[in-house]
Amino acid sequence: MEELAELLKGKGLRSTSQRRAVLAALQGFPHSTAAEIEARISAAGKESSASMSRQGLYNVLDDLTGVHLIRCIEPAGSPARYELRVGDNHHHVACRNCGAIEDVDCTVGAAPCLDPVENKGFLIDEAEITWWGLCAQCQKDSAG
């Protein structure tokens, strides 16, 4: 938890038990929904002093997203999902059937990875791409 406290302080945020709990709940669980994060925090129970309301959870998620400690992605038809992998302009593949989401590295290694045909006067610094299809397990299940 000391490492999480240092991350928060490095971004100018107070190191609260709620913020540390959200960061801890995301470790090893990329693309988590707020409900999944809440369940992990609740499961930690007595090990953590980080009880919070649903609104408190969303406030923490907003704070952490705002300082780029976490990233929020919003695949179509899915609740917002949060991950710790930030700052590298990676993309995602999503399964239309089961909703599984995986990271896909940027093909050119630097943002924005893709350039629009026309920028309409914008200075483009990032591209957010989600490819849709069927994951390997759903392909196997549908073939069987």
Q: Which domains does the chain have, with CATH numbers?
A: 2-73 (1.10.10), 87-143 (3.30.1490.190)
The first and second tokens of residue 138, run together, are: 């759903």
Residue 8 in this model has a pLDDT that exceeds 60: yes
Give the pLDDT confidence of 66-104 residue by residue, as tens digits: 999 999 999 988 899 999 999 888 899 999 999 999 999
Q: What is the pLDDT of residues 11-51, one digit of tens each?
A: 999 999 999 999 999 999 999 999 999 999 988 875 555 67
Q: Given phi > 0 = left and psi -120 to 50 = alpha, else beta, which region is 137?
A: alpha
pLDDT of residue 60: 97
Q: Could you tell me the pTM of the whole model?
A: 0.86
